Structure 1
Amino acid sequence: MYSLQMVSPDPLRFGQRLKTLPLCVLVAMSASVTVSEDAFAKQVFNPAFLKDDLSNSQISDLSKFEDSSYQMPGIYRVEVVANDQAMFTRDVNFIEKTDTENKSKLFPCFDMKTLESFGINTAAYEKFNEVKDQRCVDFTSIIEGADTTFIFDKQKLIVSLPQAALKNQIRGYIPPDQWEEGINGLFLNYSLSGYNSSKTDSNGLFLGIDTGLNIGSWQLRHSGSWNQTSSLGNSSNEWNSLRTYVQKTLIPIKSNLLIGDGFTSNEIFDSFGFRGAHLSTANEMYPDSQQGYAPTVRGVAKTNARVVIKQNGFIIQQSNVAPGPFVIADLNPTSISGDLQVSIEENDGTVQSYTVPYSSLPILQREGRTKYSVMAGEFRSGRQSQDNPNVFQATISHGLKKGISVYAGAQIADDYTGGVVGVGSNLGNYGAVSFDVSHANSTLVDGSKHSGQSVRFLYSKSLLKTGTTFQLLGYRYSTKGFYTLNDVAYSQMSGYNYSETHDGNQGIVPVITDYYNLSHPKKGRFEVNLSHSFGQYGSIYASGNQQTYWGTNDKNEWLQAGYANNWKGVNYSFSMSRNKMAQVNETNNMFMANVSFPLDRAIRKAKFEDPAIGNLYGNFSTNQNTNGSDTYLAGLSGTLLKDRNLSFSMNQGHASGQGNTSSLNVNYRGTYGNIGGGYSYDANSDRFSYNASGGVLAHQDGVTFGQPIGDTAILVKAPGAAGVRLENYTGVKTDWRGYAIVPYATEYRMNRVALDTNSFSNNLEISNNVDNVVPIKGAITRATFKPSLGLRALVTLKYQGKPVAYASSVTEAETSAYGVVAEDGAAYMTGLPVKGTLKVNWGVEERQNCAANYDISSMDLNQAVLQFELDCH
């Protein structure tokens, strides 16, 4: 911060001086305390009181500071907020300006480009064209009602603008000229997880790798995984190259270009993977656009289990979970779409598999807005049962008046042509709805030709008054001759899609995830996803789908429903799920109950409070399965350490067929990555699991290690500021050089990056600890801070044999370290280099300044505060 750093004189010496003051001075000081309130607002102090009339002491020219609101003009690094919206943090030049009450105040200098970034409609004011100094536009005199307030102690500038002066734009919109391509850099993410069981002689290891190279606005990405498993002498070792692609943001047309491996969206056609080129509208560039919908994956693990989520045969997320209920709600809707295949691979070798439907909300565009997508390449599936035909797909949707949107699409592939037309409408209080009709001509793998139609109805509604939300309610009916592109890609007329798991007794075994039979095409599909809140009485949710087929009475069904509430800090929930796969005659029903309660109150009652222990909960859960597998668990979970970045959970219970069970899991989120481990035990097996993840970023200033880097991230640069925490990012600190990785950021939006001042070392000073960045999609932007690392010293300055004038300003020439002279020429300085030059100023005239060179390398630099004298010339 740019602020005056006054050093209080020694109280004893100050008292002695006070006794020597003449009686008239004491009377005058007493009188100054009793001045009227109005007078105090105008004059805080009389500089004459700082000078003894009977002495020859001098003071700096402080007449300007007689006004309580006065601050020195100059360049300050400030956080700018316009109409309650954070705009940026940067150096701003402030000049003196007289307001309507003839008071002097600091006024910020902004050019026309900056004013337009605030949303000001400059074209509506002719006087903006008459401004002579375009670098410092006095917009408050041009726009009636505009004003600025500089909160000096917080280095915060508040700009108030009348709504009539602003462009007709959506709140929160950030102009493209503020978007940042970021820095050039090469990064690598790793995610390692594994397990080892001595009782079953089995082990497994999974390594996921994500690499990226950013050069300007071009971004290269590659993802791969290595999976090694062994059980009872049977082993497998497999490397999968998941995705490789190059992407670029095309700002002028608000679009994204992707060349390589990707996924299409499922708003109009079913989603599928491809290898080719894809040009599409970038929704995230629009402030008013929905960022998409992704389903929440819920489930219950009986043991320490691995949850694998696949889409189109590719693993999109894999994680280890502790026994009990789990929720995965961080799936990225911009990179995946289509039904999700979820497998819960238990420690005992059993597998729960079910499908979570993923259909987008009704297709609505704002009036006049067009959204498009064009893809050309080959169909790419992770299933061995499907071929890779060439395919071209194009879709478009457009917003008309009165809340109506129209859309259409076409697919052309080997042995397949299809098209769709539809319309959607915002029905106001009645929700939103869309309806479309598809037609397809297909040639299946057996050579048979088919032609058919499909109609789809989607509905969405949020009933805020009743607390009910229909996220999706839809139905699709297809004629017997209708097939999708995904159906035509199958290399056989029927078969199973499966994944591998590892049973302690049988080794590696296949597990069926779904079944297909092209002789029985899909007929009707019903989907629902709704929730309802009862306020203090809790909330319920339900999700499910049912799929019927032509030529058979078989139905595939999936349903989840639950209730949750809390009472005096105690959280409890009940849920059930049903998964029926008719083709393999398999039905799985599950019921679960869970109760968790905070233990903070009990800790306080026992007078065992420890700041390193937080969020401590006790929990109990039970899981009842129709196949006779019942589980009962009681446990403890919480966080440890000052930063709450060490989490743990321990459970003890009983499971059918396994006897008594126990487990312990610990995870740590650190500066250089994340690490965790777990142990579980039952009558039939034991398992030690471990995991580690992190990211490495190579950039022009070196190499920085951190937590896994997301699609868009931020590099913090604060050279020399080691071990400084970042606000709102658990476990993230600067490394020994002063660099850190903020692992995730929101593209095209203002991201606030703040250093935690409570973690600063004693020799660290910084002018501003907040920066704001606006990255484009996939960028690694840089938030730069300028810390001042140096010595603390009490310097006694003399000029012509006498102490420098009281309240003179002192500045170090190279580092801009700043201080103010106190009593007897003493100035307290921080951030001083070992060698340098101090510049002293006590007035506006040319002769009212001096400078002093110093070199303190011979002193004991380990002292908390150094003391030395200098002669100023």
Structure 2
Amino acid sequence: MAVASPAGGLDAPSRRIVFDAQMLALGPGGRSIDTSRFERGDVIEPGRYRLDLLLNSRWRGVEEVELRRQPGRESAVFCYDRGLLERAGIDLEKSARGQDRSSARDPLPEGLHCDPLERYVPGARVKLDIAEQSVYVSVPSYYLSLDSSKTYVDPASWDSGISAALLNYNSNLHVRENHGRSATSGYAGMNAGFNFGRARLRHNGTATWSRRMGSHYQRSATYVQTDLPAWRAQLLLGENSTSSEFFDAVSFRGVQLSSDDRMLPDSLRYYAPVVRGTASTNARVSVYQRGYLIYETTVAPGAFALDELQTASYGGDLEVRVTEASGEVRSFIVPFATTVQLLRPGTTRYSLTAGRLNDPSLERRPNMLQGVYQRGLGNDVTAYAGGAFTGSYMSGLMGAALNTPVGGFSGDVTLARTEVPGGDRLSGSSYRLAYSKNLPNTGTNFSLLAYRYSTGGYLGLRDAAFMQDRVERGEPLESFSRLRNRLDANISQQLGNGGNLYLNGSSQRYWSGGGRAVNFSVGYSNQWRDVSYSISAQRLRSHYEGFSSGDKRGETSTLFSLNLSILLGGAGRGSPTLSSYLTRDSNSGTQLTSGVSGMLGKRGEASYSLSASHDRDSRQTSKSASLDYRLPQVELGSSLSQGPGYRQLSLKAAGGLVAHSGGITAAQTLGETIGLVHAPNARGAGAGYSGSRVDRHGYAVIPNLLPYQLNSVDLDPNGMADEIELRSSSRNVAPTAGAVVRLDYPTRVARPLLVDSRMPSGEPLPFAAEVLDAHSGQPVGAVGQGSRLVLRVEQDRGSVRVRWGNEPQQQCLVDYALGPRETTPPVLQLACRPASAADRERTL
């Protein structure tokens, strides 16, 4: 039986719990244990601690926290200042005002304070957990700041990582035999890098090899990049490519400064309208999108503006319900349709690139300057402008994006002037209009509907550079095709249980008699129980879009396909899938392909496929098989194909390597930002959700972390040796982009041990008696039922003390000597001998 003292908040003194020891007086003689050590919580000593700070169970970073002794308190208490609370995500202005007069608080003065946090923040509570090195702060959501979203972390807690070298590789080997003649070729794609502090050196390239052509290496990008947290931007120096959002994407060698939305809170990263309204009382405001509650808060009487909504990125009108204190409910609709260009009011996005064009097919590579600036001007309007320049080319862009009740629109106009070698000049303009709209009531989604029209003299930066380069080589200006108009459409229709219908397409027309290029597809898909089926049609009319004086007649093809897949054996991971594909191509005829595919292994680490194809027109059949295996350190694959007159074997290997101060660790393919786990002796433990496992050196790689956001990385002890104990199995981190962050998990080597023992008198040992290491005095286990000791010991030979009180007769020693694991019995039978005075002194 346990009796607790009067309850208090998390800031209140620890509850004193009194146990009735007679309830544990088990066995002959009614012996009981000393329970006084359980009657109060751990006493926390004053000092400065580095603790994980969690606000409403969300990690906010690692803080240097001061704990001080206060009168009447056994343990030191949490002390704070304005900076710490604001970094955590508490709005101190709201806290001082309160939700009404009764909840108003005194403003928090400057300096360090150790009073209960509730004095300055209504409803606030604090809990310290020194064992987990954490401080938990609980605050009503009304007093959270805009930056207190789920994954946002204050820049002061971003981790730039360690110095490390990185390598991603993707290699393939092909051996083909065609009518008795063989050919062998290979490919290797490599992304290499080195991190030092906040600097990221990166190099991307590809190597190809064949017996006939020899070897060739092509560099695609080499640059150094670092983040600028104060500007919420990335600075890059070297070779890379520009974005294609507003201007043509071009390769450059130079410097680039661009904003990085990933550094913003979730509530500012994606567009959503500000919800404005008026409340007559302390009202509850609820916001729904497509019938789902996405946000709710309480507002004071008067006008309100909700600017921290986090909505679905593809839009859908918002229904706002205002519930007054009297129960009266008013509702209204806020239109919400999004385009890529829409930004939150007051937020900006920009990019500036200066350098030299770096396309390998250009003989003449002019200096260039390109920049774009976007700003959210209001609830429904975002404006943007930009320009691109070389010594003989200039263009300017102006446009806007609008959020309207009928959808999201964006439109812009670009003016360009190109100097043609020989003295001629081309001037023109290009107009673009884009539309998007999600209609949840009908299930219709216009994710992209865009039209561009360009006059005959208009050229983008890349096309202008190619035209100037070719004219200087002697080609006539009239030989180059120029885009006249382009229409893009991407429409989908949900039919409920009736499946999904989609239409994708584009149409392009060129000046100079270039004709039209058309590409569109329409399809339908659905699923019934374990059967999935789809039908689609695709029509292509090819046309060479670059500049060439060659043949431009093009060709047209139409493709129809019918697909059927049946999951065999239920929805389990290892269940194979039987698939059939019937295709009809206007150029190549009709083909039927059937096969089976699936996964093998406990974690689905292996995948396989077997298939056969039959061409109805040629009456020929081909066969293929593949097997892929995904290891924690590498992904391996092989495939074999055979058909009329040919055979082909392909092998592949893909993965990553991380070189660090502890050695070289192999991993699966690396993402932009990674984690390096270090858990000594924890070989076999699972790391994160990627399938990575700790290697024999105690390292593992988490190949993908989210930059500038909270990442929780857990270790799974399944697979570790039994004698390894994780002191901590979870770590939180907020890495910067491209970082290699080290995540340390302390471990303890302690062999599990079961011992049946009795007191010197032959009586059972008291249940729940503590067991200490006889030398260090550290707890190593306890007495369980039936006088069985459940222990974890670090040495193969030693003694443990069983203690159920402070008197000499309430202690005894168990000596043990362990042999190899395979020869040690599962339960040892050992005596508990009386403890001598010298023995007792060693552990007191």
Q: TM-score, normalised by structure 2?
A: 0.76
Whether the 8 Å contact between 1:82 and 1:158 is mirrored in structure 2 is yes
Secondary structure of the residue aligned to 2:497 is helix
Question: Is 1:736 aligned with 2:706?
Answer: no
The residue number in structure 2 matching 1:367 is 345
Q: 1:119 aligns with which of 89, 95, 101?
A: 89
Whether the 8 Å contact between 1:793 and 1:867 is mirrored in structure 2 is no
Q: 2:596 aligns with which of 619, 636, 650?
A: 636
**Counterpart amino acid of 2:840?**
C
**Per-residue CA shift, 1:600-655, capped at 9, x if unaligned?**
14x9xxxxxxx9x7142111112211103332111111110111110111111213
Whether the 8 Å contact between 2:262 and 2:708 is mirrored in structure 1 is yes
- Report the more deviating stretch, 441-450 or 644-653: 441-450
- Report the more deviating stretch, 558-567 or 111-120: 111-120
Q: 2:195 aligns with which of 209, 214, 217?
A: 214
CA distance in 2, matches of 1:668, 1:699: 27
The residue number in structure 2 matching 1:48 is 22
CA distance in 1, matches of 2:656, 2:776: 36
| 1:223–1:578 distance in 2 versus 1, CA, 3 Å | same
After superposition, residues 360-759 of structure 1 pair within 5 angstroms as 361-382=339-360, 384=361, 387-427=364-404, 429-445=405-421, 447-490=423-466, 519-552=480-513, 554-582=515-543, 583-601=552-570, 614-655=574-615, 656-657=617-618, 659-730=620-691, 732-759=692-719
The residue number in structure 2 matching 1:181 is 160
**Cα drift, residue 757 of structure 1:** 3.4
After superposition, residues 163-202 of structure 1 pair within 5 angstroms as 163-169=141-147, 171-172=149-150, 173-199=152-178, 200-202=181-183
Whether the 8 Å contact between 1:81 and 1:88 is mirrored in structure 2 is yes
Whether the 8 Å contact between 2:65 and 2:80 is mirrored in structure 1 is no
After superposition, residues 3-402 of structure 1 pair within 5 angstroms as 46-51=20-25, 55=29, 57=31, 59-62=33-36, 64-65=38-39, 72=42, 82-83=55-56, 85=58, 87=60, 109=78, 111-112=80-81, 115-122=85-92, 124-125=95-96, 129=108, 134=113, 138-140=116-118, 142-147=120-125, 160-169=138-147, 171-172=149-150, 173-199=152-178, 200-230=181-211, 234-286=212-264, 287-288=266-267, 361-382=339-360, 384=361, 387-402=364-379
**Per-residue CA shift, 1:20-64, capped at 9, x if unaligned?**
xxxxxxxxxxxx89xxxxxxx998962123347995946223485
Whether the 8 Å contact between 1:468 and 1:532 is mirrored in structure 2 is yes
Secondary structure of the residue aligned to 1:600 is coil
Whether the 8 Å contact between 2:26 and 2:766 is mirrored in structure 1 is no
**Cα drift, residue 390 of structure 1:** 1.0
**Cα drift, residue 279 of structure 1:** 0.5
CA distance in 1, matches of 2:77, 2:607: 47
Whether the 8 Å contact between 1:462 and 1:471 is mirrored in structure 2 is yes
CA distance in 2, matches of 1:445, 1:695: 48
Whether the 8 Å contact between 1:254 and 1:285 is mirrored in structure 2 is yes
CA distance in 2, matches of 1:651, 1:446: 59
| 1:764–1:52 distance in 2 versus 1, CA, 3 Å | closer
CA distance in 2, matches of 1:634, 1:78: 58
CA distance in 2, matches of 1:491, 1:797: 95
| 1:478–1:53 distance in 2 versus 1, CA, 3 Å | closer
**Per-residue CA shift, 1:755-796, capped at 9, x if unaligned?**
223333322222332222211111111222122222223577
Whether the 8 Å contact between 1:840 and 1:849 is mirrored in structure 2 is no
The residue number in structure 1 matching 2:11 is none
**Counterpart amino acid of 2:373?**
I
CA distance in 2, matches of 1:92, 1:815: 30
**Per-residue CA shift, 1:343-394, capped at 9, x if unaligned?**
xxxxxxxxxxxxxxxxx94412211112211111111224x25642210112
**Counterpart amino acid of 2:154?**
P
**Counterpart amino acid of 1:473?**
L
CA distance in 1, matches of 2:75, 2:827: 35
**Cα drift, residue 811 of structure 1:** 5.4
CA distance in 2, matches of 1:518, 1:817: 86
| 1:492–1:94 distance in 2 versus 1, CA, 3 Å | closer
| 1:219–1:838 distance in 2 versus 1, CA, 3 Å | farther
CA distance in 2, matches of 1:89, 1:180: 10
Whether the 8 Å contact between 2:60 and 2:154 is mirrored in structure 1 is no
CA distance in 2, matches of 1:518, 1:92: 71
Whether the 8 Å contact between 1:788 and 1:831 is mirrored in structure 2 is no
| 1:592–1:174 distance in 2 versus 1, CA, 3 Å | same
**Cα drift, residue 840 of structure 1:** 8.1
**Cα drift, residue 115 of structure 1:** 4.2
**Cα drift, residue 572 of structure 1:** 1.0
CA distance in 1, matches of 2:441, 2:76: 47
CA distance in 1, matches of 2:681, 2:508: 61
**Per-residue CA shift, 1:647-705, capped at 9, x if unaligned?**
11111121354711111111111021100001111113111111101111111222211
The residue number in structure 2 matching 1:326 is none
Q: Which runs of 5+ in 2 are unaligned?
A: 3-14, 97-104, 272-337, 472-476, 544-551
- Report the more deviating stretch, 735-744 or 78-87: 78-87
CA distance in 1, matches of 2:763, 2:66: 35
Q: Which has the higher contact order (CA 8 A, sep 6+)?
A: 1
Whether the 8 Å contact between 2:28 and 2:763 is mirrored in structure 1 is no
CA distance in 1, matches of 2:531, 2:134: 42
The residue number in structure 2 matching 1:776 is 736
**Counterpart amino acid of 2:540?**
N
CA distance in 2, matches of 1:737, 1:866: 32
How much is the aligned-residue C-alpha RMSD, in angstroms? 4.4
Secondary structure of the residue aligned to 1:198 is strand
**Cα drift, residue 290 of structure 1:** 5.4
Whether the 8 Å contact between 2:796 and 2:819 is mirrored in structure 1 is no
Whether the 8 Å contact between 1:415 and 1:488 is mirrored in structure 2 is no
**Counterpart amino acid of 1:544?**
G
- Report the more deviating stretch, 678-687 or 538-547: 538-547
Secondary structure of the residue aligned to 1:164 is helix
Whether the 8 Å contact between 1:73 and 1:96 is mirrored in structure 2 is no
**Per-residue CA shift, 1:449-492, capped at 9, x if unaligned?**
11111111122222222222222211111111111111121167
**Counterpart amino acid of 2:634?**
G
CA distance in 2, matches of 1:492, 1:413: 12
Whether the 8 Å contact between 2:371 and 2:386 is mirrored in structure 1 is yes
**Cα drift, residue 578 of structure 1:** 2.2
CA distance in 2, matches of 1:815, 1:489: 78
